[in-house]
Structure 1
Amino acid sequence: MNRREAEEYLYCAMSIGEQLLVSGAEVGRVEDTIRRICLAYGAERADVFSITSSIVTTIYGADFGVCTQTRRVSGMVNDLDRVDQLNQLSREICQEKPTHEEIKEKLIQIQNRPHYSFGMQLLIYALVSGSFSVFFGGDWKDMAASAIIGVLLKFIEAFVKKGSVNSLITALICSTVGGFLANLAVYSGIGDHADLISIGNIMLLIPGIAFTNSLRDMFSGDTITGLIRFMESILLALVIALGFTFAGFILG
Structure 2
Amino acid sequence: MSDTKKVLSFAVELGDILLRNGAEVYRVEDSVLAILNSYDITDCDVYVLSNGIFASADEVTEHASSMIRHVPMYPTHLGRIAGLNALCREVCSKEITLDEAWAKLEECKRIPSYNFPMLIIATAIGCGGFSYLYGGTVLDALIACIVGAVLRLFLHFEARMGNSKTITNVLASMVISLTAILFYAVGLPVHYDKIIIGAIMPLVPGIPLTNSIRDFINSDYLSGSIRLIDALLTAFCIAVGVGVVITFAHFIGGGAYI
**Which bin holds the TM-score, normalised by the shorter protein?**
over 0.9
Unaligned 5+ residue runs, structure 2?
Answer: 251-258
One-letter amino acid of the counterpart of residue 86, structure 2: Q
Instruction: Report the counterpart of residue 113 of structure 1 in structure 2.
Output: 111
Structure 1 window deviating more from structure 2 (215-224 vs 112-121): it is 112-121
Against the structure 1 CA distance between its residues 177 and 42, is the aligned structure 2 distance closer, same or farther, given a 3 Å change threshold? Answer: same
SS across alignment from 1:172: helix
Instruction: Report the counterpart of residue 189 of structure 1 in structure 2.
Output: 187
Unaligned 5+ residue runs, structure 1?
Answer: none
Instruction: Report the counterpart of residue 93 of structure 2 in structure 1.
Output: 95
1:82 deviation in Å? 2.2
TM-score (norm 1): 0.93
User: Runs (4+) of structure 1 moved beyond 4 Å?
Assistant: 61-64
Against the structure 1 CA distance between its residues 191 and 105, is the aligned structure 2 distance closer, same or farther, given a 3 Å change threshold? Answer: farther
Q: Where do 1:209-228 residues align within 5 Å?
A: 209-228=207-226
SS across alignment from 2:168: helix
CA distance in 1, matches of 2:233, 2:141: 28
Instruction: Report the counterpart of residue 236 of structure 1 in structure 2.
Output: 234
1:63 deviation in Å? 6.4
Q: CA RMSD in A?
A: 1.7
Q: Is the 8 A contact 2:2 2:63 kept in 1?
A: no
One-letter amino acid of the counterpart of residue 251, structure 1: A
Which digits, 9 at most, give the CA deviation of each residue in 1:229-250, with x for residues without a partner? Answer: 1111111101101110111011
Structure 1 window deviating more from structure 2 (153-162 vs 97-106): it is 97-106
CA distance in 2, matches of 1:138, 1:228: 35
Q: Is the 8 A contact 1:52 1:228 kept in 2?
A: yes
Q: Is the 8 A contact 2:174 2:242 kept in 1?
A: yes
CA distance in 1, matches of 2:178, 2:67: 47
Q: Is the 8 A contact 1:42 1:61 kept in 2?
A: no
Against the structure 1 CA distance between its residues 85 and 20, is the aligned structure 2 distance closer, same or farther, given a 3 Å change threshold? Answer: same
SS across alignment from 2:66: strand
CA distance in 1, matches of 2:215, 2:189: 41
CA distance in 2, matches of 1:147, 1:64: 61
Instruction: Report the counterpart of residue 199 of structure 2 in structure 1.
Output: 201
